[in-house]
């Protein structure tokens, strides 16, 4: 035999908790509306894409030797509002490199090239250090 007062009190508490929980969800949805969560790799790729893109002497030589265009580099890294198609490979990156950390960005371009672009994050400049076509078996580049 159930005591009527005990069940009524339990239902009242559940309703009270439910209303508070719903108000909390509503407040959180308003506060965080439009804000998303990013993984560190995509945040770094976006940061590199917003920075001015420059090419080191070695990087430009490697690009010319391997027939990699600036448009293909921009396709992987992204530029401005366009997020690049590439992914940061932290296994090939050296984030503790001095004077600037280097990031290996890998991806497949629209023309079908499988590239790895190594970029130094120089404060407000993304400097292409080297560019590698991962499908090339024989590399005859003589860049210093």
Tens of pLDDT, residues 110-130: 888 889 999 999 888 889 999
| CATH number of the domain within which 127 lies | 3.30.2310
Q: What is the mean pLDDT of residues 38-51?
A: 80
69: domain range? 40-133
Specify if 141 maps to a domain: no
Residues 79 and 50 grouped into a single domain: yes
Residues 121 and 75 grouped into a single domain: yes
Question: What total of structural domains would you count in the chain?
Answer: 2
Residues 58 and 96 grouped into a single domain: yes
Residues 48 and 31 grouped into a single domain: no
| pLDDT value, residue 21 | 96
Residues 71 and 53 grouped into a single domain: yes
Residues 11 and 26 grouped into a single domain: yes
pTM of the model: 0.70
Residues 87 and 61 grouped into a single domain: yes
Q: Using 50, 70 and 90 to split pLDDT, how confident is the model at 1?
A: very low
Specify if 115 maps to a domain: yes
Question: Does residue 2 carry a pLDDT above 60?
Answer: no
Specify if 100 maps to a domain: yes
pLDDT in tens, 46-85: 888 888 889 999 989 988 888 888 888 888 887 655 557 8
Query: SS in 3 state form for the chain?
Result: CCCHHHHHHHHHHHHHHHHHHHHHHHHHHHHCCCCCCCCHHHHHHHHHHHCEEEECHHHHHHHHHCCCCHHHHHHHHEECCEECCCEEEEEEEECCCCCCCEEEEEEECCCCCEEEEEEEEECCEEEEEEEEECCCCCCCCCCC
């Amino acid at each position: 035999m159930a005591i009527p007062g005990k069940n009524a009190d339990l239902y009242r508490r559940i309703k009270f908790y439910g209303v508070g929980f719903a108000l909390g969800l509503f407040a959180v949805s308003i506060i965080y509306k439009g804000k998303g969560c990013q993984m560190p790799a995509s945040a770094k790729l976006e940061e590199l894409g917003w920075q001015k893109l420059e090419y080191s002497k070695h990087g430009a030589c490697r690009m010319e030797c391997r027939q990699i265009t600036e448009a293909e580099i921009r396709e992987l890294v992204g530029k401005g509002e366009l997020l690049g198609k590439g992914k940061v490979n932290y296994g090939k990156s050296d984030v503790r490199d001095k004077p600037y950390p280097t990031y290996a960005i890998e991806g497949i371009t629209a023309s079908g090239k499988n590239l790895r672009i190594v970029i130094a994050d120089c404060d407000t400049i993304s400097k292409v250090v080297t560019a590698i076509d991962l499908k090339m078996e024989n590399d005859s580049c003589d860049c210093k």
